[in-house]
Structure formats: C-alpha cells, structure tokens
C-alpha cells in the first residue's frame, strides 16, 4: 500500500494549490483523472508481482533442488515422426562435366604421355647434389613443342602450367640432337631426358654462379635414372592400356580381376554397355576421369570390347558410385549427349564361388539389363 501514497500526496497538493490560487473545474477534473490513472498503474504492478511470487506446487521451496540431469532422447525407429520443414535450401551438387565431354576426352588422350611424364618426375625427382644448384626445371616434349611441367627447389616440387620455354635456337637444337647444352651466360645447364633415341623432355639446372663443361657428365648420368623410369612406365602403359582410349585393356582386366578375387577383397564387378550412344568412347573416357576424381570407380575403367567396359568397385563405395552415375547420365542428357547404358554386376556374396562363375554372373546380369531396356 505504500505505493498508493504517491497519487494521494499528488492529489492533496493539487487541491491545496487550486483553493490557494485559482479554482477551476477543468483543472480539478484533469488532476483527478491523472491521479486515478497513476493509482491504476501502481495497482497493475502489484497484481503482476503477486502472480510471479506464487509458489510452484511441484517445487519444494524450503530445500534447494538439484538440477535435473539432461537425458538422451531415444527415437523409436518404428514410429514415423513429423519432420519440421527447414528453411535451408539443399546444398547443390557440384557439376561433374565442367567441360564438353568430347573435348575433355580428346584432351585427356592427348595429354596422357605428359601426365605419365609428370607423375614420373614427381615420383623420382633429381637429387640436389651441391649448394651451387639453385633450382631445376622439368620440361616435357610432345614431339612438337617443349612445355614446362614441374619446378623444383631443394625438396620442394611445384607443378606449373604448360609454359613455353624461353631459350635460344642453339640450345633447342642441341636438345633435339639429344645433347646437353650450356647457355652463353653459363647460368643454365640443359640435360636431355632420352632413352633409345626417344626424347622425353629435358632438365634445366639453374645456378647463380656458372656452369662449366666438366660438370655436364655427372648431371647427365644421374638424369638417366629418370629417363629409365619414364621408359619403363611408357612400356607398361603400352601393355596394359588400350591404344586409342588409353583405358585399361582386357588382358589387364583379367589379371587385376583374378588377383582381386584371390585376395578376397570385398568388391563388386560392374559391366557397362553403351546402347545407341553417340561418342560412346569419349563418354567412357569421361566416366573414367570423373569416376577416379570422385573416388567411386576403383583404379579406373577397363575396355573389354568396342562398347563394353568394366570396373571393380569396392563394396563400401557402391552407394556413392550409384549417386555419381545417376548424376553422370543426367548431366550428359542436359548437355545434349543422351546415353543409354545397360549395367551388369556380380559380387562375392555366394560363398566358395569360383572366379569364372563370378565373371559369368556379371555377364548374365548385363544380358538381363539389356533385355529389360529393350522391353
């Protein structure tokens, strides 16, 4: 009740002033109304305070309560729960085909030997013998032009773009003759990477001092190790890859499938057969490239026949592969390359299954898929 003394005092002072100086019914009415409104406002505050102080019948106010521990929520998977709509937009999938499928395939085949060259020099870099050597430039030769591939300084290897080489005609002529060369300022030493009269490229050794003729032979001998590795990988590629598409060939497929089967790895053999599809070789090359980039197609695609391909996919990658392949075909359709592909598969779900039965099961599954599409 102490709060109501304020409007009472305010009203009393107003009345005294009214009679002492000048009395007006209008001012007296305003004074009365304002005091009543103030009293009602104070009454509402008391009402709210009374509600907030009412004790909770479920809580013992005399003794402090311990905090209620958080319990894990267990959902009944058998009961369908309502899902609240989310305002978040689904994350868009990354586009697979960032380049025209035909152009991508042709560029891939054209750059196959450059890729092999770059992989080899990265795996077997030239050792830095002395502090005199400041950097090494690795350059690939495609039979027409020299293009930069890697740049090395000490233990650091940096991949570069296909930058043209800046040098004199004399130095280029010596390299094409499979001979080393030193620039006129003695700052660069060029050593060809060659084996059996094949020029793969060259190494450019840079220094802040100067090179002399006596230093050529040690660098040339050490560079022969890289040339041998490049030759070995080239010969291996000739044996294991198709000469046109550069995909793994049928003999390599049976070798890898046999070793995989005997190791009892959990893989699924998937066969792909393109039906009435234009540019099917280019699309298969794209499937190989994009599949390896997304880690869903194993080591790569094997070409068994003209329009028949195979892949060994790990069982734990089957779901990502299925999602990838659906997106792969959908994007081809949107790009104007409609493709009809029949799929056959076979896994090792049958215990003690033999290798030839495993392969035949995939072909039988493929035939069923072809008949289903034809129907």
* Concatenated DSSP letters of 17-42: HHHHT---HHHHHHHHHHHHHHHHHH
Domain end among 216, 240, 264: 240
Domain harbouring 306, CATH code? 3.30.70.270
Q: Does residue 63 form part of some domain? A: no
**pLDDT band of 95, cuts 50, 70, 90:** confident
Give the pLDDT band of residue 104 (cuts 50, 70, 90).
Answer: confident
Tell me if 85 is assigned to some domain.
Answer: no
Q: Is residue 143 part of a domain?
A: yes
Query: Averaged over 292-297, what is the pLDDT?
Result: 90
Taking residues 68-83, report their average pLDDT: 35
- The edge-to-edge listing of strands for the beta sheet with 302-303 is 302-303, 308-314, 267-275, 340-347
Same domain, 221 and 273: no
Residues 233, 257 within the same domain: no
Among 4-18, 172-186, 307-321, the minimum mean pLDDT is found in 4-18
Are 199 and 278 part of one and the same domain? no
For residues 78-83, average pLDDT: 37
Read off the CATH number of the domain in which 232 is found: 3.30.450.40
224 shares its domain with 309: no
Confidence of residue 105 (pLDDT cuts 50, 70, 90): confident
Check residue 108 and give its pLDDT. Answer: 87
Residues 211 and 317 grouped into a single domain = no
Identify whether 88 is part of a domain.
no
Highest mean pLDDT range out of 12-21, 160-169, 247-256, 324-333?
Answer: 247-256
Q: How many domains are contained in the chain?
A: 3
On whether both 331 and 220 belong to a single domain, the answer is: no
Residue 281 lies in a domain: yes
Is the whole model's pTM more than 0.85, yes or no?
no
Same domain as 298, residue 224: no
Following DSSP, what letter does each residue of 56-95 receive, concatenated?
Answer: PTTS-SSSPPPPPPP------TTSPPP-PPP-SPPPPPPP
pLDDT of 93 reads: 65
Same domain? 157 vs 222:
yes
CA dihedral (333, 338, 342, 343) positive or negative: negative
Q: Calculate the alpha carbon distances from 274 to 253, 282, 338 in Å.
A: 19, 12, 11
User: Is 370 inside a domain boundary?
Assistant: yes
Report the DSSP beta bridge partners of residue 188: 206
pLDDT at position 85 over 80:
no
Instruction: Determine the structural domain holding residue 8 and report its residue range.
Output: 1-34
Domain stops at, among 188, 216, 240: 240
Residue 198 scores a pLDDT above 70: yes
Residue 77 has pLDDT above 70, yes or no: no
Q: Which of the four pLDDT bands, split at 50, 70 and 90, describes residue 155? A: confident
**Cα–Cα distance for residue pair 13/354, rounded to 1 Å:** 111
- Looking at the structure, tell me whether residues 278 and 183 fall in a common domain: no
| pLDDT one-digit tens code per residue, 235-253 | 999 999 999 999 999 999 9
Q: Where are the beta strands (DSSP E) in the chain?
A: 133-141, 146-153, 156-159, 181-182, 188-195, 198-207, 267-275, 302-303, 308-314, 340-347
The Cα 211–Cα 121 span in angstroms is: 23
| Residues 240/200, Cβ–Cβ less than 8 Å | no
Same domain, 306 and 285: yes
Long-range pairs of 49-57 with CB within 8 A, sequence gap ≥ 24: none
């Amino acid at each position: 009740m102490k709060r109501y003394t304020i409007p009472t005092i305010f009203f009393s002072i107003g009345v005294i002033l009214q009679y002492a100086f000048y009395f007006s019914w209008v001012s007296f009415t305003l004074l009365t109304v304002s005091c009543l409104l103030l009293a009602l406002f104070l009454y509402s505050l008391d009402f709210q305070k009374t509600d907030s102080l009412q004790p909770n019948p479920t809580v013992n106010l005399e003794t402090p309560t311990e905090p209620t521990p958080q319990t894990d929520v267990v959902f009944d998977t058998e009961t369908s729960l309502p899902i609240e709509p989310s305002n978040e937009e689904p994350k868009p999938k990354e586009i697979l085909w960032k380049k025209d499928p035909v152009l991508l395939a042709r560029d891939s085949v054209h750059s196959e030997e450059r890729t092999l060259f770059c992989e080899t020099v990265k795996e077997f870099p030239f050792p830095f013998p002395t502090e005199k050597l400041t950097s090494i430039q690795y350059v690939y030769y495609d039979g027409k032009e020299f293009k930069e591939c890697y740049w090395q300084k000490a233990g650091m290897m940096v991949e570069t773009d296909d930058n043209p080489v800046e040098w004199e005609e004399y130095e280029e002529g010596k390299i094409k003759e499979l001979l080393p060369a030193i620039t006129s300022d003695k700052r660069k030493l060029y050593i060809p990477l060659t084996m059996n009269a094949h020029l793969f490229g060259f190494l450019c050794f840079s220094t802040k001092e100067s090179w002399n003729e006596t230093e050529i032979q040690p660098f040339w001998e050490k560079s022969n190790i890289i040339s041998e590795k490049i030759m070995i990988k080239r010969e291996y590629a000739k044996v294991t890859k198709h000469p046109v598409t550069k995909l793994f060939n049928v003999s390599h497929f049976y070798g890898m499938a046999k070793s995989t089967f005997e190791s009892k790895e959990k893989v699924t053999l998937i066969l792909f057969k393109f039906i009435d599809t234009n540019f099917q070789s280019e699309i298969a090359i794209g499937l190989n490239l994009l599949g390896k980039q997304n880690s869903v197609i194993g080591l790569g695609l094997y070409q068994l026949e003209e329009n028949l391909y195979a892949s060994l996919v790990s069982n734990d990658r089957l779901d990502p592969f299925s999602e990838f392949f659906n997106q792969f075909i959908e994007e081809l359709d949107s790009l104007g390359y409609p493709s009809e592909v029949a799929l056959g598969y076979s896994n090792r779900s049958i215990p003690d299954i033999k290798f030839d039965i495993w392969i035949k099961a995939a072909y039988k599954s493929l035939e069923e898929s072809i008949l289903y599409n034809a129907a």
